[in-house]
Amino acid sequence: MKGVSRGPAGDLLDDLAEQVAVAAIDAFGVSKDAGTALGTDVAMRMIEQWGGQMLYMPKGVRIEASRIHHQIYEEWKGNNHRELARKYGFSLQFIYRVIKVLRKADLNSRQPDMFSPPGHD
């Protein structure tokens, strides 16, 4: 996609294509050509879906927060709330709340709903 588009929006699409290519190569071990093709395809799909619209690119605070919350839950051993609070710089109450919410979501994902019809997981 390099050189096809101009201006900040074009730079964004060029970077998107490049970042997807690098991620595909690093995460899945695809060839450079396959990664580049995937990156270009993703950028073209974004153009089809969002072309001509004004976009605001958030900083990803929610995604980062979610990642940290899941990391806290993964490191939780049942008795290390204070350690996690110190490590991540959150209050003890916040750590308890994160674990409560993620533990409930985890349990719900493992247990089928008793009231849903069979075959509707």
| Residue 82 maps to a domain | yes
65 and 40 in a common domain? no
Count up the domains in the chain and report the number.
Answer: 2
| Residue 44 maps to a domain | yes
Q: What residues make up the domain containing 90? A: 61-109
Residue 121 has pLDDT above 60, yes or no: no
Please, which pLDDT band fits residue 64 given cuts at 50, 70 and 90? Answer: confident
75 and 97 in a common domain? yes
Whole-model pTM?
0.52
pLDDT tens digits, one per residue of 14-63: 999 999 999 999 999 999 999 999 999 999 999 999 998 988 877 777 88
Tell me what pLDDT residue 63 has: 85
| Residue 22 maps to a domain | yes
66 and 99 in a common domain? yes
CA distance 62 to 77: 25
Tell me the CATH number at 78. 1.10.10
pLDDT, mean of residues 113-120: 67
CA distance 91 to 84: 9
